[in-house]
Amino acid sequence: MTDKLFTDKTVLITGASSGIGASCGAAFAREGARVALTGRNAARLEATALRARETGAEVFALAGDLTDRAFREVLARSVGDRFGRLDALVNAAGIIGSGTVETTSLEAFDAMLQANLFSLFHLTQLVLPLLKRSKGAVVNVSSVTGARAFPGVLAYCVSKAAVDQFTRCAALELAPSGVRVNAINPGVVRTNLHRASGMGEEQYAAFLERSKETHPLGRVGTPEEAAELILFLASGKAGWITGDTIGIDGGRAQTCAR
């Protein structure tokens, strides 16, 4: 019988109530991990937890808003108290919103950075003692917009570019402790991200159809595909990879604006 990648290891996954985070919950549980899950939607988070438990994994789920500093502190403390160790942190939580340099309000810009950057930074900081002890790994979910500019989503692009740079800086600083930090940069993935931003079903369907043209491989991605890359980066198989931002975008980052 093949050994599982995360037997006797613990993983904390944010944004686990939907999309890439939810798929990560199932993937890490399948590979033997003890899984700590968090997300804003309690009902959907419990559905993710149920899927993970069906593999026989030990699961801890705590619903809450990661933009709340007190919640981040409770989450980090709870994971430490419950499991006593942490081998990987997957920062998959995030939001998207429309707006240009002229139309984006200060409040909207701040909300984007709070959700996509500040909470990621602080949670990573809070669990570092546990990650250093296990010589663990951090995997951040960034975006193709971290590497390429796209009009109409300025705050989102800025937040993801910052996540990429945070990934590189943290990787250098934590390398002496044996902690690896990487990011994935997905193109359009079929998740709840755009719907949660207020995009209607008809508009979303048109967006997905258009994305077949803007992604050279002719389709959008799946959360499961992103989760498999995250699983690899968090595992010992990627033990000599750190500070990298890896595209998983159907070739989208290789194209010019169109």
Spatial distance between the Cα atoms of 125 and 24, rounded to a whole number of angstroms: 21
pLDDT of residue 2: 62
CB 167 within 8 A of CB 245: yes
pLDDT at 22: 97
Q: What is the pLDDT of residue 60?
A: 98
Backbone angles phi, psi at 142, to 5 degrees: -95, -135
pLDDT at residue number 56: 97
Q: Which strands make up the sheet holding 59-63, listed edge to edge? A: 59-63, 34-39, 10-13, 88-91, 137-141, 180-186, 245-248
What positions carry a catalytic annotation?
156
Mean pLDDT, the chain cut into blocks of 10 residues (258 residues total): 87 97 98 98 97 98 98 98 98 96 98 98 98 98 95 97 98 98 94 69 78 90 97 98 97 84
Domain boundaries of the chain, sorted by first residue: 10-193+222-247
Residue that the structure tokens 């033997």 belong to: 32
Which residues, 6+ apart, have CB-to-CB distance to 89 below 8 Å?
11, 12, 123, 124, 127, 131, 136, 137, 138, 139
Report domain 10-193+222-247's class: alpha beta
Predicted model pTM: 0.94
Cβ pair 63, 41 in contact under 8 A: yes
